[in-house]
Amino acid sequence: MSRAVRSSLAVRRQAHAPLFAALGDETRLSLVAKLCGGQPRSISQLTEGSKLTRQAITKHLRVLEDAEIVHSVRTGRESLFKFDPEPIVEIKKYLDLISEQWDQTLSRLKSFVEE
């Protein structure tokens, strides 16, 4: 792997680390799943069916917002949260690239072992 490719991967890894960290929590994954329907939801709607308080849900939403996975829009006295799929699309591209590299590495290893 060339130095330029390694450098590019390092930059991408640093850019994606906050997103992976934000998605590394069960509650936040649940919130993302609720918001994936495309319909913006209020904190009270997102709290329904959860044992967590509105304040706890709000903290989780702020982490997701900092990672740019969700965006909030103020509507009167209420904030509505909406899912943004673009960061997930970018992570998928990154993981596909890593997967391709592993496939190539395993293929080289297989060739080496079979010779």
30-43 pLDDT tens trace: 999 999 988 899 99
How many CB atoms within 10 Å of residue 6? 10
What pLDDT score does 40 carry?
93
Count of domains observed in the chain? 1
Residue 44 belongs to a domain with what CATH number?
Answer: 1.10.10.10
pTM above 0.85, yes or no: no
**114 pLDDT higher than 60:** yes
- CA-nearest of 25, 19, 2, 4 to 92 is 19
Q: What is the CA radius of gyration of the chain?
A: 19
Domain of residue 79, residue span: 3-114
Q: When comparing pLDDT for 14 and 93, which is higher? A: 93
